[in-house]
């Protein structure tokens, strides 16, 4: 199966689907699943934006893409989505409407719950393994959403991993884990003193084949984890290169994992000339 990977997209959810559709047209291959590392920008009500998202949205309305495109069915948006058949699975970042996501999560015991009007965007609960199957191929994903608190007195805030989620991780039974999908990085992996200790423990205990994460704002970083088994990957956020003419997408914002099994797989970053056709002011006008 082919899996598209994105780091932080901050509202540009429809752009993820448009890029996957373009990759399919250019390569003649099919994408079976999209994985997204949090900061999806899941704010169905713009009045509930956090301060940082509101500040960025004043400069770039695409930060409001989830509310604009995914809260009610629109024929133009549906036409873009119909170019692909894959679901998008994400973990929570620190910039989401967590109260709203909490209500949706409480309504199901399943690992995934849909958050959009089209049933194409699904949140993966922290600490609940999910196995995605395509034909005879399967891979098991574990998600860890939100971020780790830096100060104990702030730990109760919604953007930080919650006690019930940590309890799920502690009580997790053995699982043959292929992918760890998180928003935060492992503790001390990117910057000393930052990252989540829970993620470090999972990497050491389960040794997944890949760890995809976001949050740091850093550019592309693909390297082996200290456990000697996992390849850890931070893709560039799906942002615009505001220093370049036309403000195209920054490079290295999408990866493709061709997965058959733990011993037969290959990951590569999308590096194609067409990528820079998608610009801050142009991509929506061309498609909608």
266 vs 36, 47, 181, 263, 288, CA distance in Å? Answer: 18, 42, 17, 9, 34
Report whether 230 contacts 211 (CB < 8 A). Answer: yes
Question: What CA–CA distance (Å, rounded) separates 10 from 93?
Answer: 10
Across 128-287, the runs of DSSP E, i.e. the strands, are 130-134, 137-144, 179-182, 210-213, 221-224, 231-234, 255-261, 264-269
Question: What CA–CA distance (Å, rounded) separates 226 from 39?
Answer: 26
Q: Which fold has domain 2-287?
A: Purple Acid Phosphatase; chain A, domain 2 (3.60.21)
Starting at the earlier edge strand, list the strands of the sheet with 255-261: 112-114, 121-124, 88-90, 33-36, 2-6, 255-261, 264-269
At 284, the pLDDT band (50, 70, 90 cuts) reads low
Helix ranges, 113-265 (H): 163-170, 197-206
Average pLDDT, the chain: 94
- 77-118 residue pLDDT tens: 999 999 999 999 999 999 999 999 999 999 999 999 999 999
Report whether 159 contacts 52 (CB < 8 A). Answer: no
State the Cα torsion 84-85-91-93 to the nearest 10°: 30
Question: What CA–CA distance (Å, rounded) separates 213 from 31?
Answer: 20
pTM passes above 0.85: yes
DSSP single-letter state for residue 213: E
Helix ranges, 28-142 (H): 51-59, 65-69, 75-81, 98-105
- 215-236 residue pLDDT tens: 999 999 999 999 999 999 999 9
Question: What CA–CA distance (Å, rounded) separates 89 from 128?
Answer: 13
263 vs 1, 57, 64, 209, CA distance in Å? Answer: 14, 43, 40, 9
Query: Residue 74 CA to chain centroid, in angstroms?
Result: 23
At 176, the pLDDT band (50, 70, 90 cuts) reads very high
At 288, the pLDDT band (50, 70, 90 cuts) reads very low
CA end-to-end span of the chain: 29
Question: What is the rounded average pLDDT of the residues 112-133?
Answer: 98
Domain locations along the chain: 2-287
């Amino acid at each position: 199966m082919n899996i598209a990977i994105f780091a932080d997209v901050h509202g540009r959810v429809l752009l993820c689907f448009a890029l996957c559709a373009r990759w399919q047209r250019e390569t003649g291959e099919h994408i079976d699943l999209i994985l997204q590392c949090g900061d999806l920008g899941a704010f169905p009500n713009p009045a509930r934006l956090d301060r940082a998202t509101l500040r960025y949205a004043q400069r770039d309305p695409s930060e409001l893409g989830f509310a604009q495109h995914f809260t009610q069915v629109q024929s133009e948006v549906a036409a873009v989505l119909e170019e692909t058949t894959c679901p998008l699975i994400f973990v929570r970042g620190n910039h989401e409407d967590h109260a709203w996501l909490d209500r949706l999560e409480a309504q199901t015991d399943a690992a995934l719950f849909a958050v959009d009007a089209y049933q194409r965007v699904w949140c993966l609960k922290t600490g609940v393994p999910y196995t995605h199957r395509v034909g005879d191929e399967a891979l098991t994903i574990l998600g860890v959403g939100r971020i780790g608190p830096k100060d104990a007195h702030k730990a109760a805030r919604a953007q930080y991993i919650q006690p019930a989620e940590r309890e799920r991780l502690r009580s997790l039974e053995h699982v043959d884990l292929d992918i760890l999908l998180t928003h935060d990085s492992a503790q001390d992996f990117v910057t000393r003193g930052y990252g989540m200790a829970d993620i470090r423990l999972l990497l050491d205990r389960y040794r997944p084949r890949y760890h995809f994460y976001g949050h740091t704002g850093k550019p592309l970083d693909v390297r082996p984890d200290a456990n000697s088994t996992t390849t850890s990957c931070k893709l560039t956020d799906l942002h615009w290169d505001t220093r370049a003419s036309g403000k195209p997408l920054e490079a290295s914002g999408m990866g493709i994992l061709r997965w058959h099994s733990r011993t037969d797989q290959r990951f590569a970053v999308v590096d194609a000339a067409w990528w820079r056709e998608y610009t801050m002011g142009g991509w929506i006008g061309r498609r909608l």
